[in-house]
Structure 1
Amino acid sequence: MEKHILIIEDDKEISELFQLIFEIADYQTTVFTIAPDPEFINKQNFNLVVMDIRLLGSRYNGNELCRIFKTRFPENKTPVLLMSAESNGNILARKCGADSFMDKPFDIDKLLARVSEMMV
């Protein structure tokens, strides 16, 4: 069965790049350029959520969405990988309960290795 990644990234070019990288690696993807409701994430069968911290035009930033999702649905074990160019991104990721964090810009091979390690 194909693994399914939810990508939440407000930059259209970066979201398309993520989609291309993951689909070439045989992952199914769903892409949002604004933050979906935490309930949506909970109801789906994603194997991983990859999201940016800064989500311009969204109701939530990525770290807020992560915190709400992890707090409201503790039984859902879908891992969250936060990504950002923010200098304090790793601190924000830790505070919101993200399972992992990666800086932008990123190395594609390291990203794919991390994604593979995190899959449920």
Structure 2
Amino acid sequence: MKFIPRGYEFERAGPVSNKVQPVVADVAGRLLLCVLTLLLNTGAYCGEIWRGAIKSIPDGQCEAGQSLDLWKTPIMTSVLLPQASRLALPTIGGPKILLMKGTALASTVTVFELIGAAHLVRAQTH
């Protein structure tokens, strides 16, 4: 299970522009490439925020759920996540702002695609 956090570390540490490009460049368009890049980047940040919030809850809370004979899923949904959400939700604002900045960058990619398509149509009709 340690490979998942290491993958998120790689995702967070690298530049946004070239994360998905080698994988998706030949398969799909540039807009899908932008969406996947922004999704992975924001997901990495939000995942780390939620992980830190859950880790910051004292172990006694989980032990209290176990003493009530709850399974892991009810402990997580009824005991840990409500407390972690109070810690994580104010911090989520940072990745939201980064996502909004990234969508502005993605809009420039689609503008260049539209201009390229317009040049192609003009070349075919004249």
TM-score, normalising length: structure 2: 0.25
Give the structure with the higher percent strand.
1
Where is the helix percentage greater, Structure 1 or Structure 2?
Answer: 2
Higher Rg of the two aligned structures? 2
Larger RCO, structures 1/2 (Cα 8 Å, 6+ apart): 2
